[in-house]
Structure 1
Amino acid sequence: MWRQLCRSSVRLLRFSWPTRSLGSSGAKDSRLASVQLQNKDVAMRWNNDRVTFLPYIFLRDNCQEPESFDQAAKQRVFNPAFVIDLNIKAKHVDMSKDGMQLCVTWPDGHRSRYSSVWLMEHSQGLPPETPKLPVEKRYWKRDHSVARFNFKEIINDDNDTPLSEFLLQMESHGLVLVDNVGTESNQIKQFCNRIAYPKPCVQGRDVTQVHTKLDDVSPYLNMEMPLCTSLPFYNYTPGVQALHCIQQLSGKVRFCDGFRIAEEIRETNPSFFQLLTQYPVHYVDSGNDFMDYDIESWHVPIGLNSSCTVEEIHFNNQARGSQYVSSLSSRLQEWYEAYYTFSSLTVSPQFLVELCLEPGQMVVFDNLRVLHGMPQGCLEMAYLDWDEMRSRARVIMG
């Protein structure tokens, strides 16, 4: 049931992410029909009559031979600036009879071989914002059904399929519920170690146990407070947060999709969207959890990539400092209106998803996208980074 839900709600991207193998039709189209040396590049005609070009400097720079490239590390083992003439030209080029390999001979006698699949993948480059994993981002609102996974299946080293599906679900939706974790301490550490390792922070070296009581000065106890992302006062904010319920909580855990809220503001009030994407907010925190610290950073509440797609959310009213950038001076009133709009939407019923997190369950969410609010109770908490999450997914998927 869990896997079926995951497969139905995650839409794989078949063509926009570089693949390492092609199907039968793709393999046929990736056969070279002919090649020709030109002034600055190699012209390649494919079986489907498509013609592509690759410059000599690019081909020599990306030589795949062992003396030039470490296939295990996927890294160069030479400095092209010291080895390659910018105006280098191929001396000779050969194509295998089956059209599946190209061999280029260079003026110094060095020979570089390239598979036709590699040549096709590199003949046109990738879009500026190619997905980091082959899965589409899916935004959600209150009617979202959160995907569920089994803890024991995820941590099973003998079967990577549940972990792979979990990682893709996190990439697409950013919110996952994990059952059968148990109530023993440090289960969350075992989970993190299955993927990579817990990210240390000022709250703890790996796993932090959080107790909230009625007399705690905690933003999570006031249900009217806006939801938030965690640790925005870090320059490199942890990308993923996991919360393991140890004892019964006093209420429901609340979540909202920050990406969906950002798009709502973009559609309904572009000027507010511009303010929240242009002016960074000062975030601060100080204390002495397991170490003394005084930490601060600046982040725009809504972070965009080069294609103006929402890529990160940094929103935490409690950690927001009083400093502001000088260029905002004349627009402070308007900025507050934009900020209030975002803040109010985080607690709007149309965007809220509420979960009854039971002892022995764990919720994992994208800390650069999903805002959360916690009731009273005892939880264990850990962070991961998206670099390691995506690395694990790529290793599993080959």
Structure 2
Amino acid sequence: MSTTTTLSNNSTFTNSNAKEPLKNVIVTGGAGYIGSHIIYTLLKTHKYKVISIDNYHNSFPAALTRVSELALTELKASLPTDTSPSPQDLDSVAIDVYKCDLLDSSLVRSIFSKYSSQNGGTGIWGVIHLSAYKAVGESSVIPLTYYANNVSATISLLQIMQDFGCHRLIYSSSATVYGVVDEIPIKETTQRQIEGKEGSVYGRTKVMCELIVEDLCESSVLTGSTTPFQAISLRYFNPAGAHPSGYIGEHPRGRPENLLPLLAHMAVGTVKDPVLKVFGKDYPTPDGTCVRDYLHILDLAAGHVIALQALEEGSELNNRVFASTTETGKGSKGRFKAYNLGKGHGMSVMQIVGAMREATEFDFKTEVVGRRRGDVPELIADPALARAELGFDAPRDLETMCRDLWNWQEKNPTGYE
């Protein structure tokens, strides 16, 4: 089943100047926390027709309705007085929404077909692949579920993309691909971890998918494809915060797994735990708790949009990104590139608790318990490559992340429900 998020508009359209047609872009997991903010950022460019595919396992359709409403409101506010949005601009802030599991290949194929030239469309220009199960602890308990959902679904998606001539992919990866590392901050040249007790099933699924995507990029070059497969893998660290309006934000189904949303739910009263369990305080870090590289969700979303723009063949950005990749020859990985997205410095669990205590004025209590399998002491990105080649930046600080998160949670104590 497919539905289209519709926007009411009773004003008279003005004649618009000729514009480049919107590019059809699929976002898998579009209704999720990261997906909804990426879609919002895509809509703000007015260059794409966004198509969301989501099974709502850990998300809500209402998020996409709000994203469209927010983008439309901002579009109208940006126009001169007594000027109405053009039909194309209105189309650029409306999302085509499909409830679909990526493992249902026949339904995913039908979505691609709907936009194909055979049905009068221009085809799918690119895909931002976000959907995945992502709880580190849970992944060790139900590994087959994680391998099926994260790896098998990615393979199916790539096969369908190939069949429909879609050769541009942004892959949502993770810092967990690095496992435990000796050198901090982490560079993209750091070896990815598959084996070892310090790794997680979730992290291994991300490494496997990256390798599969790399092999696809390589094969399209070695077979002499006139449109070689291009992919950028974005390895991010910990997104946090929300849109400053408080209209969209993070709302997982059930109890939050990640630290910041858990703290927000404790402060607003939807999680009744009297204390926060801290998994280990004997790590080799300044205060003994795990250190992570947090970045604002809107900075992360902007990084995805820049990466998508880098897949435009022949552009200056495209040439810069893939200048170092070998186009021919045995062993080439083709047009594949990985980037870390982060701030370049970390915050510990206890620092996060302190920042949220200040933002919410809630007196969080903590209790140290044993380490959690799969956790590593420090994950801090070296974002130098993304800054140099993509022009990526993450200027919003921890206080802004916590303030925006609390603004969202306080205005929406039960999220989208």
Sort the TM-score into its range (normalised by shorter chain). Answer: under 0.3
What's the TM-score once normalised by structure 1's chain length? Answer: 0.24
Structure with greater Cα Rg = 1
Flag the structure with higher strand content. Answer: 1
Q: Which has the higher contact order (CA 8 A, sep 6+)?
A: 1
